[in-house]
Chain A
Amino acid sequence: MIELDRVMKWYGEFPVLTDCSTQVAKGEVVVVCGPSGSGKSTLIKCVNGLEPFQRGRIVVDGISVGDPATNLPRLRARVGMVFQHFELFPHMSVRHNLTIAPVKVLGRSRDEAAAKAASLLERVGLAAHADKFPGQLSGGQQQRVAIARALAMDPICMLFDEPTSALDPEMISEVLDVMVALAQDGMTMVVVTHEMGFARNVADRVIFMDHGRIVEDAPKEEFFGQPRSERAQAFLARVLRH
């Protein structure tokens, strides 16, 4: 469903992504990990065209992301994204956050969108908070709302950019639980994260990035069992100590 072919990106002279190639099949859950500055956030933002790239190809459900003729908003409406800092719209209630895009972008009726929002909030365990504003919610609650907001668009796949990195430890598990449930329901997911427990649990494949390159791209058992590269081994050793 998602295909990256030798993607390269520079910020001016500085190479941020070098020769990144991989595929994600429908229903697969891929975890992307690596040290800070490895380019993993940038890579995932290239998939739905939030960040431009200079060379290579990215194809999502048959549509080429880098093609100037592509209608990016239309593509993005079908690809869900969850951000590190939640990015709920602070001036809208939770319900409004969930309904605004389905109504304005997909053209659904207000009632339809509201019904869907209610059922999604139920699914992430926040039905009682529909009329609250983001500022009144905890970080974990906000992130769950953010996931519901992305799901309200009925996406074909979901991209997660370090969804738990900005959360206090107690709240990480409530968000991960939602993500695990999503994975078990068969959603195609690409998750940039440090949470190796999640990866071990639900991921099908793990990608390790370093200095803008994909250094390792292996099925979960292989990655955790016997990673081929030294960098990945060193990274794992440090991360798994927690």
Chain B
Amino acid sequence: MLGNLDFSVIPASLPFILTGLLFSLRLTLVAMLGGVVIGTLLAMARLSAFPALAGAATFYVNTMRSIPLLMVILWFFLIIPLITGRPIGAENSALITFTAFQSAFYGEIMRAGIQGVPRGQVWAGQALGMNYWRVMGHVVLPQAFRDMLPVLFTQTIILFQDTSLVYAIGAKDLLKAADIAGKNYNRPIEMYLFVAALYLVICLSLSILVRRLQRRIAVLR
């Protein structure tokens, strides 16, 4: 019953929750930065003229988009130790998994961005004697990136929510911290509610910021 709730456990467990939150944020940041860089390379590979490269990139992206993220998490957690011959912690496995997984999604966003830059821009760069890498680096990618900034940020918000799934391998993120604290203080309900509220506030604020960013970009065009 509502009357039985005792929220005083929240201040007590706050430091512990905060470490969990820090890991979730760290995971999000690493996966976002790594994912965008690798994703951009994937997008360029998909759009390249070499069939083998394009095929491999397409296969990778489609695979990552077809299986549940939970399965990808489980896969990496299983495979990495087998490849390196050493055990790997849940946290490090998560960092690698999420970067690899998100690169497929950021890659698709960048691909749309690259394809959205008018062909004439590519020609103009080429007509000035720029080779492929210069055209990409100086002309296409800056524009693609700027065009896709709101979508990239929205994907990051989704990424932040997805980090809760590391629960499956026991990594100590925000949700797991709430779980543990809930069991320690025997107040799981208050902890879950608190953490849900945290996620809500963080994600909602970020979406509002993204929407503002979108409006400012629309004005500049």
Contact = CB atoms under 8 A, between A and B. Distances in A.
A91 B141 CA distance: 11
Contact of A91 (B124, B128, B134, B146): B146
Contacts of A88: 124
A88 B142 CA distance: 14
Contact of A76 (B118, B120, B129, B221): B129
Interface in A110-157: 135, 146, 149-150, 153
A150 B123 CA distance: 12
A83 interface: yes
Contact of A89 (B121, B126, B127): B121
A242 interface: no
Contacts of B123: 45, 50, 81, 83, 87
Interface residues of B, number: 19
Contacts of A45: 123
B73 to A, nearest CB: 38
A187 B195 CA distance: 71
A48 B127 contact: yes
A66 B131 CA distance: 17
A77 interface: yes
Contacts of B139: 89
Interface residues of A, number: 30
B210 interface: no
A100 B142 CA distance: 14
Interface string B82-105: 000000000000000000000000
A101 B128 contact: yes
A83 B120 contact: yes
Interface in B128-152: 128-131, 134, 138-139, 142-143, 146
A76 B126 contact: yes
Contact of B120 (A85, A100, A104, A135): A85
A15 interface: no
Interface in A151-178: 153
B142 A76 contact: no
A91 B130 contact: no
A88 B128 CA distance: 11
Given A87-B121, A91-B142, A100-B138, A50 B126 contact: yes
Interface in A38-80: 45, 48, 50, 72-80
A105 interface: yes
A186 interface: no
A187 to B, nearest CB: 16
Contact of A104 (B127, B130, B143): B130
Contacts of A37: none
A90 interface: yes
Nearest to B221: A135
26 contacts: A45-B123, A48-B127, A50-B126, A50-B127, A75-B129, A76-B129, A77-B128, A79-B127, A85-B118, A85-B120, A88-B124, A89-B121, A89-B124, A91-B142, A91-B143, A100-B138, A101-B130, A104-B130, A104-B138, A105-B128, A105-B130, A146-B124, A149-B128, A150-B127, A150-B128, A153-B128
5 closest A-B pairs (Cβ-Cβ)? Answer: A77-B129, A87-B124, A101-B128, A81-B127, A87-B120
Interface of A: 45, 48, 50, 72-81, 83, 85, 87-91, 100-101, 104-106, 135, 146, 149-150, 153
Interface of B: 118, 120-121, 123-131, 134, 138-139, 142-143, 146, 221
